[in-house]
Amino acid sequence: MPGKNNNRIERIDEELKKEISNIISYELKNPNVTGMISVTKVKVTTDLKFAKVSVSILNSKNVKETLAGLKKSSGFIRSEVAKRVNLRNTPEIIFELDDSIEYGAKIDNILKDIMKDIKKED
């Protein structure tokens, strides 16, 4: 039954996404992690060994530093996840940057500029 396991993985993805978001927002005390960090997606491997965590970082002093800070804190985050989520093995957390929100904001700004230009011409 491949579908049944899929649902379980999806539930784990969602649960991890919620918990990792809370941990980053309220418990992470790393001074290098700045800005608004949103966990956009979590994808665990079927063997639950790894969790790929996509994060969007807005208004950060330094995005690279923030991502590096998250990677350095992954052990702490993993141990916090272990306390909150009842899994036999807690997956190793791998952070990656999701710049789709930033990309969307850039597109929005371009469209606003175009609309201003069109209104000026009228």
What angle separates helix 74-84 from helix 63-72, to the nearest 10 degrees?
50
- In tens digits, what is the pLDDT along the chain, a chain of 122 residues? 456 678 999 999 999 999 999 999 999 999 999 999 999 999 999 999 999 999 999 888 899 999 999 999 999 999 999 999 999 999 999 999 998 877 888 898 999 999 988 888 77
Residue spans of beta strands (DSSP E) within 14-82: 36-44, 50-58
Q: Which amino acid, one-letter code, is at 46? A: T
Cβ 53 vs Cβ 93: under 8 Å: yes
